Chains A and B, each alone.
Chain A
Amino acid sequence: MPEVAQSQLARGMRDLLPAEMRRVRRIEDAFTRTCLRWGYGEIRTPVIEPIHLFTAAGTLSPQTLDRVYSFLDWDGWSGERVVLRPDSTIPAARLYAERFPPGSVARLFYRQDIFRFAEDDSAREEWQCGVELMGETGRRGDIELIFLALDALAEAGAAGVVVRLSHAGIVRAVLAAAGMPAEAQAAAYDRLLDGDGKVVDEIEARLPQLNAPLRLLFDVDGAGSGYIANIRAALAAEIPGLTPALDELAAVVAALEARGVAPRISAALARRFEYYSGIVMRFERDGRRIGGGGRYDELIALVGGRRVPASGFALDIGALLDATAPGDDERAVRISVTAEADSPEMIAAAYDCAAELRRAGFAVDTIDEGRDGAPCVVCRPSRPRFVLRHGGSERAFEGAAELMAALEHVR
């Protein structure tokens, strides 16, 4: 048992042990393989970014901004703060604006961490696998991303994934119809993003002409095309601004249904992010969010580029660890190699033997001498050159080739 009684781990932070890291790598590798097969290229953005990337209206919601880790850098005498990356999409948009020809289609993916303060013991560092598709791809881009996410999740071993869809235009249309001034609309939108349900009643009070309650939009867990048709029938006449958003949502839903995916529909999914402007997607398993994303057509312009439509998603590795089967232990078979005598020549011979076994795919230690039951190869100065001890028995080998053949049996 560990000797340290009290952990010195910072609150909200997590160690990952070898067994957990093997699962993390399995998820990341599955994600990477999938993205590469779909023609995406990997990027990595810095952990530290200037705060102003995230503070402009249309980026993060106020509550999320209140939880960024911000500080003055060692050369921050100008008074402008920097942050530990609280989100990966905004840095990716910056990267695109600065490094790609404006308007070009860029297929990018990343595996990196984000940092957000939590008042309880929840994780403050989250590892994500994400994809960004920049350029004029229209709703085909949204459809591609949803199928790509499902492919990556299946490759990682996550079964029973539910796709939940929304459209940022639904909430915006409702707020506009409620006749709120622009500032009040923005504030109500932020409250919705931050999960304040009371705002629905306030909006509804401003829409006495509605034939159906707004709760139909915000409280009902809808299913596919049928639910979209119901919303259209109940609310679109009084809120005509809903129609374009519902049209787009219906087209994406129909494409998914045609391939046997049955998405759920929600009116407000884009928690914590203001930058979503079109289709918003969330991936769930057993009711738990394991990833999400959406279209953000205005974001690249907000971070200094030209207006370029874009869309993306990120999968939460922490949630996926719980959502995927442990899988086979992928460790290579471990072997000990040791020298019978402590002479420099014999130690060199043992290291040569170990190197050859590692090239053959074994995991080889040169210290343990098979103490935990692993096969142990003893290198000798005279014939026989090798002795293999395993399972209480010993076998002698004159040459490396014979030894290797025997070890293949062990494998």
Chain B
Amino acid sequence: MIRLALPTGDLRRDTAALLDAAGLGIEGYAAGSRALRFEMPDAGVARVFREKDIPAQVALGNYDAGICGLAWAEELAQRYPGLEVVRLRDLGYARSGLWLAVAGDTCEPSVRIVSEYGNIADTLARRMRLPRYRIFSLWGAAAAYPPEDADLAIVPATDAAGVEAQGLRPVCEVLASSAWLIANRRSLAQKDLSLLLSRLLDGRVPAPPSAPALVAPPALGLRAAERPPRTRLRLALPDGHAQSHTVAALEMAGLQVDGYGKEDLVRRPRIAFDAVEVKVIRPQDMPQQVAIGNFDLAVTGRDVLFDHKIQFPSSPVEEVVDLGRSRYGLAAIVKDVPADGVAGAVRWWRAQGRATIRVASEFPNIADHFARERHFGRYSVVPIAGASEGFVPDDAEILIEGIETGSSVRANKLTVLERFFESTNCVIANRRRPEGALRATFDALVERLRAGALVPAGAATEG
């Protein structure tokens, strides 16, 4: 039985068309069904993942083959050069590049590089022989960071104009990416994948014989310069699922933010509050940005703060206002495990001969902490980007996942073994408060944000 990993998101439509044309059409996949697992008639099974997770799943051998952007395969390979992944063929769609971009002519003495592709960024920094650099491996919105919060960004774009459209100056394309068929090396060597390969490698799309390689950028010639002291307070607001909850809190607090609506979202909206500037970034990236002093305040989730504090226990970030919205819990979730607690489940997996317990989560630090605290023994954490319900039981034994009402858990026939952390959205700040005039602005803004809390805001709660 062939196991194929397929992408959700932007690649779904073209991938579905490719599979249809190859006679491997999967009912429901093209339509964006909520199902995560599909039968491929006469071929095997297909499982839907976030594109970013596919190379790791193929490398682990959980799937024989997968379709994803080449950039994600390269991102994993840069960290793990001995990867069991073979790049088989350019599938001819989703053509895009990864571009190195700058915002100006200066940089901090320790060059700040932002990207969703942190491993590629690290390799390029070494190739450029940057004497000192910092990599911020982001969940998204990299183009929004320069020039205030980053010196270099590595961003996806179809061409140089696409980089400029993001407000950045392109330096060079570092990787030409497109959708690729990849396969597990051992599966290729030992398993009959001929049905899949014959249908997908039929030469329908002219393709180069080998995958493009990472291009080393030229010397940048940036001048090192310290940042001038800030005159405005900086607030980070979240995009994505967290945005609607934040909009509600801001409205209740009487804070008008132009350009932060669902329809008119911009990365630098304007807030009606003196001496404050706002930037919209991913909530997962906020604690680190607050810790290093790029932002004075940020609205994020307590789960995200908890994950950050586990990775960096002495981080100076703290919660200052509980906004009381976006309420949900983090839980340990399994499927088809005859146990009513985590300890019993661990004993059951061991009795089944499972040497390593795989813990999948979008919160890898929390998952690691959970497994350590519950004495899992030998375990591995599988960091994932989403589509998490489908991971258990085939691709992980246990899932550390946020649950709200439990409807998704019930719909997927999953079992909650333990709900161990409660999260709401909250305002976070650096323990080291801004000084001078900015301190008064900070205090005033925190007070206003407190008025947006759904519950009376008591003392800050630690994660």
The 4 closest A-B pairs by CB, nearest first: A79-B134, A56-B131, A77-B291, A57-B129
Q: Are A57 and B131 in contact (CB under 8 A)?
A: yes
Given A52-B132, A55-B133, CB of A80 within 8 Å of CB of B110: yes
Q: Which residues of B contact A75 (CB under 8 A)?
A: 312-315
Q: Are A119 and B82 in contact (CB under 8 A)?
A: yes
Interface secondary structure of A, over-half rule = loop
Measured CA separation A74–B310 after assembly (Å):
9
Q: Which B-chain residue is minimally distant from A78 (CB atoms)?
A: B292
Measured CA separation A360–B316 after assembly (Å):
57
Binding site for B on A (CB under 8 A): 52, 55-57, 62, 65-66, 70, 72, 74-81, 119, 183, 186
Q: Which residues of A contact B315 (CB under 8 A)?
A: 75, 77
Task: Say yes or no for B112: interface residue by CB 8 A criterion.
Answer: yes
Binding site for A on B (CB under 8 A): 81-82, 110, 112, 122-123, 125-127, 129-136, 218-219, 287-288, 291-292, 308, 311-315
Given A52-B110, A55-B132, A183-B219, CB of A76 within 8 Å of CB of B312: yes
Measured CA separation A56–B123 after assembly (Å):
13
Q: Are B313 and A79 in contact (CB under 8 A)?
A: no
Q: Are A72 and B134 in contact (CB under 8 A)?
A: no
Q: Which residues of A contact B110 (CB under 8 A)?
A: 52, 80
Contact of B112 among A52, A57, A79 (CB under 8 A): A79
Total contacts A to B, CB within 8 angstroms?
62
Distance in Å: Cβ of B37 to nearest Cβ of chain A: 33
Measured CA separation A81–B122 after assembly (Å):
10
Most B-side CB within 10 Å, residue of A62, A70, A78, A119: A78
Contact of B311 among A52, A72, A183 (CB under 8 A): A72
Contact of A81 among B135, B291, B314 (CB under 8 A): B135
- Further contacts, 9 of them, CB under 8 A, given A55-B133, A81-B135: A52-B110, A52-B133, A57-B131, A62-B127, A72-B312, A74-B311, A77-B288, A77-B291, A119-B82
Given A66-B81, A66-B123, A80-B110, CB of A55 within 8 Å of CB of B135: no
Q: Which residues of A contact B133 (CB under 8 A)?
A: 52, 55, 80
Distance in Å: Cβ of B406 to nearest Cβ of chain A: 34
Q: Which residues of B contact A78 (CB under 8 A)?
A: 134, 291-292
Q: Which residues of B contact A65 (CB under 8 A)?
A: 126
27 A-B residue pairs with Cβ-Cβ distance under 8 Å, sorted by A, are A52-B110, A52-B133, A55-B125, A55-B126, A55-B129, A55-B131, A56-B131, A56-B132, A57-B129, A62-B127, A66-B81, A66-B123, A70-B122, A72-B311, A72-B312, A74-B314, A75-B312, A75-B314, A77-B287, A77-B288, A77-B308, A78-B134, A79-B134, A79-B135, A79-B288, A80-B134, A186-B129
Q: Which residues of B contact A81 (CB under 8 A)?
A: 122, 135
Q: Which A-chain residue is minimally distant from B288 (CB atoms)?
A: A77
Distance in Å: Cβ of A186 to nearest Cβ of chain B: 8
Given A55-B126, A56-B129, A62-B126, CB of A79 within 8 Å of CB of B314: no
